[in-house]
Structure 1
Amino acid sequence: MIRDMLYDDVVRALTDPDFALDVRAADLSGLSDEEVGDLLAAAYRARRGATDAMKGARVAVHQAVRDSEPRYTPDACRRMFEAVVACSEDPDDVVSLRPVVDALTHCTGPWPDLSGPARALTDFLVEKGDATHPYSLLMVASLGGGEALRTAADLLRRDGGAIAMDGIDVVIGLTPAERTVLVQVDGLNTYDPPPNAPDLWRQVAGIPAYVAFARRALEAAADRADALQRGEVPYRADKAFTPREVDMLGQAARMALLRDEPWLPDLLDRLLPGIAVAPTSAKTVPSQALLYELVRAARDFPTPELVTAIRTARSVTRHAGIPRQLDKLLKQVEPALAERNEVALRLSREGFDDDGVLRREAGGGYTAVVTVTETAHLTWEKDGRPLKSVPAPVRRDHAGLVKELRDLVKRVDIQLGTLARALEGGFTVDAVHPYGWWRAELAGHPLARSVVRRLIWEIEVAPGRWRAVLPSTEDLPDAPDDASVRLWHPIRSDADTVRAWRDRLVDGQLRQPFKQAFREIYRLTPAEEETRVHSLRFAAHLVHYRRMFALFRARGWTSRLLGPWDAGDGDAALRALGAGEWRAAFFHTYVDWADGDGVASTDRVRFERRVAGAWREAPLAEVPPLVFSEAMRDVDLFVGVTSIAADPDWTEHGPARAYWERAGFAELSESAEARRDALARILPRLKIADRCTLDGRFLVVRGGLRTYRIHLGSANILMEPDNSYLCIVPSRGKAAGKVFLPFEDDRLTVILSKALLLAADTEITDPSILMQVGKGRAG
């Protein structure tokens, strides 16, 4: 009864200018999906001549949509059409087909007779020349009868290009049910797709006629690119494809990538370089738009072959801005690749033998040898004797072979880097592989083995009993081919086991492809259990904003660029995890306290779960431990790397200076604790071991002039006995470069460089450092 009264009140608030409803107090969460659909139709009609009270009611209805999946009765569907037609009669209103398409695709019964409003909408859009959403237009036009469909098709064929014309004909020939599926991907935001986009594409992949069109379209695009390169088609920069063709080719690529079509890799090897470099000497390209759209398609449904093709296109383009843009997009593609287990770990053998060696004869007793260890290396031999460089006769007579092999080395290194990032990204998916396949295609693969064998793996040798192995140092156990294999993660192990693995890596001088044994882990804290739905663990830090924004991109997070402009004051950086079922949100605010230097303040972290195609806030306790840990690890990285506390040149005063002084020597975060643990193992091996000790959050270095305390989080330095600050601009010293590190960590490198420098402070010649050391010196 109460719910019925609320529904009636909202309807009246949307339709009666004299009725005011306190929408802030109105809780619409209890309404059914059908009632929300009815209200949306009424809200859309209320756009014309709405009072402030009616606008408030409309806002309340649209907020309710975020927490529901609206459904439309046939009557509500009809009323939505009529409302949009009414809006089209207002020259100041903006008309979109999205509301009527949503009503049709979520109608709870047979569609009503919509021929009248459908014809009116079609005529309106055709007269305006508005073909923004071609599939939606064709769907609405088909309801208006044959003449409406013909005029809509004529509009879409106009200046659309041959590929687009083929696509339009395919859509016209689909059944109403197939068209209803396809229309849901029409106008999808390819820059920031909704969480249910993969499900929509899977439905589209079930339409045979559209699958066939996807192949035809991509083959036609590759043929056109080839013709351009041969000079058979006149070249105009960025004009090789029309905007509608770019959209349709992006959709076709997603279809083929989702289906992992076997014909696609060779085709993309032709298409991407063909549109990334001009057929002339010009520093332009045939189609930037298509190039970027294909990379965005790769972000949605990546394959290792496409990543390689994109990197190849990057290497050949002469356009100055494209490599930078491709790098940004690739930083989103490679983390997504990790979540496609069925294709992510696929590598070709490239002609290498089982030991990762490829030999090519060059004549005259000369042999090229490409060896894959941690990376690929090209060397030369003469009658079996190693040579220091490319022999002159080979360089003169076999320049093509030399280039081919150098390109192979680059390509293999790209593939190994992609594989490592895909494996690491698989942590949040908790990816599991069949033992037989893993042993043959990863651990035994001539290229993949260089990455795989330096990682710790768990093999289920008996039901529920996992055995951890490091393939580079021990034989693989006997287990059935269908036994499960997964990457070992420290969050699943006890502290003694983690310590043992860390000791083993350092003792064996084994550098892992990414941080695994020394990986930081983040468990729920009592404070986070108290706040329940958000974490403040990394809140209230001041960071260099532009550096943090770059790290967002590098780690696969998305966020708007903030700054001193409208709506530029705050945002949440987002990253999908756990095969797209979870999403982390890291809130931050632009404060600009640093004289225009671009400083941001960090805020809370929240998690959302994907429910019925939409994101819903989730309590922290319900987030899978691996997903929580990996997301918080990224946020720790953002803060640790970009905090102004780690900036030795910081000179600003006021609140920012107070933060710098407080945070620059604060308690250690999990990443700094991992750094401390690594140092405990590394220090005894150094020539300065007798001058170094670990004391809480500091590495204490005894020099000849003074004793120094290097903070393990910020790398800031205090000098005893007066705790005065020592400013040394970070650098990667040559001495630090010779020290074995079990993982890559810029801050650890800086700390070791400073320690090696300060342990021999009597040899320092830099006057700025000597002046600081001399002040207040004891004795």
Structure 2
Amino acid sequence: MLSERTLFELRDLRLAGDSKGNAPELLVMIDTLFFIDRQRAFPLTPELCLERLSSLLSYASGKTGKRLRANLASNVIRFLQRCTDPTVHILQNVLLQLLNNDVARSATTSWKESYIRLAIAGCLSPENVGKVQSFDEDFSSSSPIFSDEFGLVCSWSVGTRLEWAGLFLDDDVDDTQVIPALDPLWNMIEKCPGYGGFAKRALQVAAQRLTEIHNGSLPYRADGAFDGAEIAALNRASRYALRRDEEWMNDVMMRLLPDASVAPTSAKTAPSQALAFDLAKAIATFPTPEAITALREANRVVRHAALAKRLRRELGAAERELPFWPERALRIAAHKKLNRAQRTTLLNALEGSFYTSIRFTFDHWRNLSQCYPGVLSLFESLVWRVTIKQKESDSFIPRFHEDDTFRVDCLDASGKCMDPFPDSAKVDLWHPSEADEEERQAWQRYAVERRLKQPFRQIWRECFAAPDSATLSPYPYQTLSVKPFAGLARKQGWVNERDGCYYRLFGPWRIVLELSDRIVPGSTGIVEIKMLKLFENTSSGLRPISFVEIPTRLASEMLRCVDLLVSVATIAEKASVSLPPAERTRRESAAMSLAHERTASAMTQLRREALEKLFEGYDTRIVFDGHYVRLDNFAIHLGSSVVFHKGERVDFNIPDQPRSAQLPWLPYDEALLERIVMILMAIRDQMS
């Protein structure tokens, strides 16, 4: 490791090399060494800090300092953060010179300049802090919300102000894509004294301002309700309140977001598109049922086409994120009667718990069903898993007694009542990937015998084994149509990185799908899947991991999402016409073979099991043969519902109302399953 003195000797070498216009390799090496030095977070004595700040000042003042001028503010703040005492008198002169040298010029927005200058001036005498405050009063007088936040920051300690300013130095960081538990900005906000009071005041003032714009008390100007500094402050305040699930936020958000999204006139504009989008992003990151309701209302009333598109996207993201906050999600069921939107959100949250492996104690789980009547019927239609003291788990379906005791009977797959569970036992939703074949078959028989109707596919859910690798190529030569692939990927929450990769976040995990080509807006044609990768988001960045390192159900759900994308977008029979005939034939054959094998092993196999149990004892002429179900001279493919008669493909038109008395009960909702059943019933009608 280089000593402090050696680094400054290298600085002199760099100055000499740069002034003579030679030794470019030396310049690159020294720049790299200074970057490494900045990354080393060891403390600096005031003397060493003075040397470094003086060096920065000399670089920024001369012609040789143009490279460092852009990073001057970042380096000053970082050196002061590492200084053991940034307020000592020996630093006063150089800090004043840096302030006079426009140290914050590299900041991209004026509100960031204000915080950087305040943090640096805070290391000086009180009169210098006053100068910075007066410097920013003219700016913040037109931004009362930002002025309130700025005044709060002024009351913090020197170290806290330096830390606060340091959070705004990296403009290339997208804070909305950071995992909440690893995000330094929101973690710091929660610890800052007085920030909760500011957040409440700021959001209430913003809601009141929008109310006055809509009732005509204030003039309306498109995108003029708030300036950039206020929008940034409101973004931080809203994320603080949503993350802490503040009760007062529910009413404020219901007023704030819809009013920010639609003009008080009939114009297709909005008082503040930027604020509406930031609030929607905040809800997608820290969702609550009440905030999602506000976002849904804003999506209903918005007239601006581009903003409407973004609100719809964030609404879907919020509903996908809500299962990761189970206590919030269950608040939807606080009422006995749920409207359609509330029921959809609740079902999405329950199904999304497959991704999270969230567990309750048995006592807590039972109380939830008592406190939230809206979940009672849902709980009784789902299979649950109970684990007692980390031992082998059991699965059950509950039957609640709505009396004073509110007892619950737990039935196993044979319908027998199980022994009572202790209150400390852990309960979560049962997932078929964590059960053996015998247990899965038992619950499927239970569902068929009792005509169990589930709110989403659970007992009949597809299962995928976790591959023992962080990277794999599950669909070689699989040809996908770009348009349906991109549309479904966007709807499901996949993010297009524009470099031939799509990724989707599942809590702290990121699954990446690599394609053969980039997909940009308006793209058409085909692409092929190259690789599937899995990463874990950590404080030090993305870490490649294998699928066996994550919970079994989560691995199965990830692969199920990928399989759905591939199944919808696959066009294996239409390979690229630009390929040579031999290569096109080879890829078509490989893709068809793989798709045939994959489909039979998951979706089609599950469909066959459902039909076998459905038609057991119903008609002995119905026979299952591999990937087909046969009746007389007809054969129906279980993966596509294509009908063959005596070996030849035929177009089969299903009558609107088959003559059969009643369509058999279906174990789960699926268009393809229903079509196969209707074709079988229509063939039976023809034969009768």
Common fold: TM-score over 0.5 = yes
Shift of the 651–74 alpha-carbon distance from structure 1 to 2, 3 Å rule, reads: closer
- Provide the rounded CA distance (Å) in 2 between the counterparts of 1:426 and 1:105: 45
1:699 matched residue in structure 2: 628
Shift of 1:624: 3.5
Amino acid across the alignment from 2:667: P
Shift of the 671–432 alpha-carbon distance from structure 1 to 2, 3 Å rule, reads: farther
Identity, % of aligned positions: 23
1:283 matched residue in structure 2: 268
1:135 matched residue in structure 2: 115
- Provide the rounded CA distance (Å) in 2 between the counterparts of 1:227 and 1:288: 17
- Provide the rounded CA distance (Å) in 1 between the counterparts of 2:682 and 2:166: 62
Q: Where in structure 2 are the equivalents of 1:257-336 lying within 5 Å?
A: 257-336=242-321
1:74 aligns with 2:40: no
The CA RMSD measured in Å over matched residues stands at 4.6
Shift of the 152–114 alpha-carbon distance from structure 1 to 2, 3 Å rule, reads: farther
Cα offsets for 1:709-741 (capped at 9, x unmatched): 6362xx28585877x878999x99988996654
Give the match's secondary structure for 1:74: coil
2:382 matched residue in structure 1: 455
Shift of 1:74: 1.6
1:100 aligns with 2:69: no
1:771 matched residue in structure 2: none
Give the match's secondary structure for 1:208: coil
Shift of 1:254: 0.9
- Provide the rounded CA distance (Å) in 2 between the counterparts of 1:58 and 1:761: 83
Shift of the 71–758 alpha-carbon distance from structure 1 to 2, 3 Å rule, reads: farther
Cα offsets for 1:263-313 (capped at 9, x unmatched): 111111121222122222223221111111011111222211111111122
1:124 matched residue in structure 2: 102
Q: Is the 8 A contact 1:591 1:598 kept in 2?
A: no
1:398 matched residue in structure 2: none
Shift of the 658–102 alpha-carbon distance from structure 1 to 2, 3 Å rule, reads: farther
- Provide the rounded CA distance (Å) in 1 between the counterparts of 2:61 and 2:657: 70
1:170 matched residue in structure 2: 152
- Provide the rounded CA distance (Å) in 2 between the counterparts of 1:609 and 1:170: 36
2:143 matched residue in structure 1: 161
Q: Where in structure 2 are the equivalents of 1:1-16 lying within 5 Å?
A: none
- Provide the rounded CA distance (Å) in 1 between the counterparts of 2:612 and 2:589: 28
- Provide the rounded CA distance (Å) in 1 between the counterparts of 2:630 and 2:34: 64
Number of aligned residues: 647
Cα offsets for 1:528-547 (capped at 9, x unmatched): 4xxx4322224542222343
Shift of 1:249: 0.5
1:383 matched residue in structure 2: none
1:203 matched residue in structure 2: 188
Shift of 1:84: 5.8
Q: Where in structure 2 are the equivalents of 1:153-552 lying within 5 Å?
A: 154-155=135-136, 158=139, 161-183=143-165, 185-186=167-168, 189-193=174-178, 197-198=182-183, 200-347=185-332, 349-350=334-335, 352=336, 372=337, 412-442=339-369, 445-460=372-387, 464=391, 466-471=393-398, 475-476=409-410, 478-525=420-467, 528=468, 532-552=469-489
- Provide the rounded CA distance (Å) in 2 between the counterparts of 1:49 and 1:205: 50
Amino acid across the alignment from 1:261: E
- Which residue of the other structure, out of 660, 663, 671, is the alignment partner of 2:591? 663
Q: Is the 8 A contact 2:643 2:650 kept in 1?
A: yes
Shift of the 267–591 alpha-carbon distance from structure 1 to 2, 3 Å rule, reads: closer
Instruction: Give TM-score scaled by structure 1 length.
Output: 0.71
Higher mean Cα deviation, 749-758 or 435-444?
A: 749-758
Q: Is the 8 A contact 2:526 2:576 kept in 1?
A: no
Shift of 1:149: 6.6
1:742 matched residue in structure 2: 667
Give the match's secondary structure for 1:232: coil
Shift of the 596–605 alpha-carbon distance from structure 1 to 2, 3 Å rule, reads: closer
Give the match's secondary structure for 2:398: coil
- Provide the rounded CA distance (Å) in 1 between the counterparts of 2:71 and 2:544: 29
- Provide the rounded CA distance (Å) in 2 between the counterparts of 1:59 and 1:718: 67
- Provide the rounded CA distance (Å) in 1 between the counterparts of 2:558 and 2:325: 19
2:415 matched residue in structure 1: none
1:362 matched residue in structure 2: none
- Provide the rounded CA distance (Å) in 1 between the counterparts of 2:515 and 2:12: 36
Amino acid across the alignment from 1:500: A
- Provide the rounded CA distance (Å) in 2 between the counterparts of 1:77 and 1:219: 43
1:679 aligns with 2:679: no
Higher mean Cα deviation, 602-611 or 733-742?
A: 733-742
Q: Is the 8 A contact 1:225 1:271 kept in 2?
A: yes
- Provide the rounded CA distance (Å) in 1 between the counterparts of 2:542 and 2:51: 28
Cα offsets for 1:204-256 (capped at 9, x unmatched): 21222222111110110111111112111111122111121111101001111
Give the match's secondary structure for 2:177: coil
2:413 matched residue in structure 1: none
Cα offsets for 1:75-129 (capped at 9, x unmatched): 7866765676535866687724674377258627444865525752564256789
Shift of the 481–496 alpha-carbon distance from structure 1 to 2, 3 Å rule, reads: same
Give the match's secondary structure for 1:521: coil
- Provide the rounded CA distance (Å) in 1 between the counterparts of 2:655 and 2:364: 41
- Which residue of the other structure, out of 5, 24, 27, is the alignment partner of 1:51? 24
Higher mean Cα deviation, 166-175 or 605-614?
A: 605-614
Give the match's secondary structure for 1:669: helix
- Which residue of the other structure, out of 487, 492, 503, is the alignment partner of 1:573? 503
Instruction: Give TM-score scaled by structure 2 length.
Output: 0.79
Cα offsets for 1:422-478 (capped at 9, x unmatched): 223223331111323322323662222243332211234676354322236983464
In structure 2, runs of 5+ residues without a counterpart are: 401-407, 411-418
- The structure carrying a bigger helix percent of its residues is 2
2:403 matched residue in structure 1: none
Q: Is the 8 A contact 2:167 2:184 kept in 1?
A: no
- Provide the rounded CA distance (Å) in 1 between the counterparts of 2:679 and 2:187: 54
Shift of the 458–625 alpha-carbon distance from structure 1 to 2, 3 Å rule, reads: closer
- Provide the rounded CA distance (Å) in 1 between the counterparts of 2:462 and 2:120: 54
Give the match's secondary structure for 1:641: helix
1:606 matched residue in structure 2: 533
1:37 matched residue in structure 2: none
Shift of the 344–135 alpha-carbon distance from structure 1 to 2, 3 Å rule, reads: farther
- Provide the rounded CA distance (Å) in 2 between the counterparts of 1:507 and 1:95: 72
Q: Is the 8 A contact 2:629 2:635 kept in 1?
A: yes
- Provide the rounded CA distance (Å) in 2 between the counterparts of 1:670 and 1:110: 66
2:550 matched residue in structure 1: 623
2:491 matched residue in structure 1: 554
Higher mean Cα deviation, 299-308 or 615-624?
A: 615-624
- Provide the rounded CA distance (Å) in 1 between the counterparts of 2:26 and 2:685: 75
Cα offsets for 1:27-80 (capped at 9, x unmatched): xxxxxxxxxxxxxxxxxx99x998367547867997x89xx9741442786676
1:395 matched residue in structure 2: none
In structure 1, runs of 5+ residues without a counterpart are: 20-44, 353-371, 377-411, 563-568, 763-779
